[in-house]
Structure 1
């Protein structure tokens, strides 16, 4: 994987075959070749395995695709959750000085898979390139802990970060939330809940390929149901594990796109992948934010697939997408630190 990611684009195209074009977009040659290789070498995917094996598979993929970028300090700790301590990991790059900005980060994995290790590569990258601290949260997973356990943990972790900003070495007025896929969903939901309730809300929200609507399947589900890393069948598997009954999909804490109002929420950066079943609901959420007067940047990475931000160690696409997001964090969150 690392070798093919380093090849020139013309060589990747020659090896990957005829360009795949859907909905006016062309699949990036690097991604097309990687998907071809995965199809040739992969066995059963996680939703076809026992849960423990599926989780182990995600951990292996994180090791294959990620990159352990050096960070000044990386410290494992715990934060209090509503049902007990939650494992967390604090990344703090060298040279910050004083109180930095902080991004509270929630990993992806459909609320069922993933952990601190699966998010490690992206957290390291954002900490270094955005020049801020990152607190990664190992929230409870379904089906052992279905909705709303993950939401409750995410809200508690954010509030803990605000209340303990001094001991974390961060500015309480420059704390944002972010995440990828299900983690992007949690970032959106945390922003909505904390805005509606007493106490501070995040200063910024960063969402990669967020799940924003489990109540229906948007058009991108039909376009990219299979063959582009994340599949419709896998999203169905995630939903069935996360929810205890279908009606919960109408709850804005599950489907933040369904909230009555998005006005007053923090500024947002929303990144979606062109070849992703979740593309359209992510874009719909960004549009609703903008219509509500929330400063929002929507970035569609047209040739890419779901989860690419975790592939910082393979090829260039994931790194490039994260670099853009890091730039947005610098302007929208890092710059807020120390302004009081």
Structure 2
């Protein structure tokens, strides 16, 4: 019965977004303008519908309830898989056990290609391979590359630095097994969204300071960069824009409950003393996102350290927009732009 209900809700959601613009504006309400930005109608309508459904934030009384909430949202938002993409589940052996992973490639891609090792978002507490399956399929197809999505261990069952340890192990696995994965050691990039963006750039930083082969590119989508400081965007957008101030506290409390240890640069990459030598990066932020300012400050730190970086603010969007690209055109437009940046960044890699 719950499955039928979800199908009905998903159809209703798409029906509302298919209404004429005046009708969608009527449902969404008056335009929201804040900090010199106007929220996209698609984003405002999605937020309004979430409010009406009673799901206004990502956290919950327990981690499992929050995880189920994300699983349910995924089922509502992504109803049809990207065509022309082959996906294969696999496991990655590590010192702490096997990690679930999923390798994607465009069906027509039979030769070697760059590989993006992707870490999903979810505050290190929620999210999994399925929550970002649509995103990874989209990136693989439209960037014309392979994508290896990694299911790292989640907090609070496994606290910091477990997720990072797993991410490093997965990146090392990709480097050591490049040929079997359809790529080469000098064609591997890292990427992720939110907490996954944090893990991706932490992996890149570790690789440049160790014997590991450096990633050729970083794709950082509204990344978490500092667990120690409340910035202006967190005050401005901490309520009513999907990711809330309370969510952020809930996530970090589960991942690293010891406040004095949150300045560890493996977690708060913005606080690393030296960021020089990191791979070129594309840092996407959303205008109505509590994480906006720390992501943009991290991009500036990279630039100041001599790292080639493009910092792109999607000023009319909210945190999590890449997961809603099937629902409304504005989200997909933004994801297409991100794909373009990924293609461009990979085309500049060393031969």
Structure 2 counterparts to residues 148-227 of structure 1, below 5 A: 148-227=161-240
1:230 Cα deviation after fit: 0.4
Q: Is the 8 A contact 1:108 1:181 kept in 2?
A: yes
* Aligned counterpart, 1:31: 43
Q: How many residues align?
A: 338
Q: Is the 8 A contact 1:188 1:205 kept in 2?
A: yes
In 1, distance between residues paired with 2:347 and 2:95?
29
Q: Does 1:99 align with 2:112?
A: yes
SS in 1 for 2:240: coil
**The 10-residue stretch of structure 1 (117-126 or 58-67) with the greater mean CA deviation from structure 2:** 58-67
1:293 Cα deviation after fit: 1.2
SS in 1 for 2:124: coil
* Aligned counterpart, 1:82: 95
1:38 Cα deviation after fit: 1.1
Aligned residue among 155, 159, 177 for 1:142: 155
TM (norm. structure 1) is 0.96
Can you list the C-alpha shifts for 1:145-176, whole angstroms capped at 9, x where unaligned?
Answer: 00000001001101110110111111221100
Check 1:19–1:264 CA distance in 2 against 1; reply closer, same or farther (3 A cut): same
SS in 2 for 1:117: coil
* Aligned counterpart, 2:146: 133
Can you list the C-alpha shifts for 1:158-216, whole angstroms capped at 9, x where unaligned?
Answer: 11101101111112211000001000000110010111111211100001110000111
In 2, distance between residues paired with 1:302 and 1:164?
39
1:82 Cα deviation after fit: 2.9
SS in 2 for 1:215: coil
**The 10-residue stretch of structure 1 (158-167 or 58-67) with the greater mean CA deviation from structure 2:** 58-67
Q: Is the 8 A contact 1:174 1:334 kept in 2?
A: no
SS in 2 for 1:147: coil
1:292 Cα deviation after fit: 1.0
SS in 1 for 2:262: helix
Q: Does 1:322 align with 2:331?
A: no
Check 1:295–1:44 CA distance in 2 against 1; reply closer, same or farther (3 A cut): closer
SS in 2 for 1:262: coil
Check 1:78–1:37 CA distance in 2 against 1; reply closer, same or farther (3 A cut): same
**The 10-residue stretch of structure 1 (49-58 or 116-125) with the greater mean CA deviation from structure 2:** 49-58
The answer for unaligned runs of 5 or more in structure 1 is none
Q: Is the 8 A contact 1:89 1:135 kept in 2?
A: yes
In 1, distance between residues paired with 2:83 and 2:160?
35
Shift >3 Å, 4+ stretches: 6-11, 43-46
In 2, distance between residues paired with 1:329 and 1:118?
21
In 2, distance between residues paired with 1:298 and 1:84?
37
Q: Is the 8 A contact 2:56 2:240 kept in 1?
A: no
TM (norm. structure 2) is 0.93
Aligned residue among 14, 18, 31 for 1:2: 14
In 2, distance between residues paired with 1:8 and 1:2?
12
In 1, distance between residues paired with 2:94 and 2:326?
32
SS in 2 for 1:47: coil
Q: Is the 8 A contact 2:85 2:137 kept in 1?
A: no
1:95 Cα deviation after fit: 2.3
Can you list the C-alpha shifts for 1:14-49, whole angstroms capped at 9, x where unaligned?
Answer: 331111110000011111111111111125755233
Bigger relative contact order, structure 1 or 2 (CA pairs below 8 A, ≥6 apart): 1
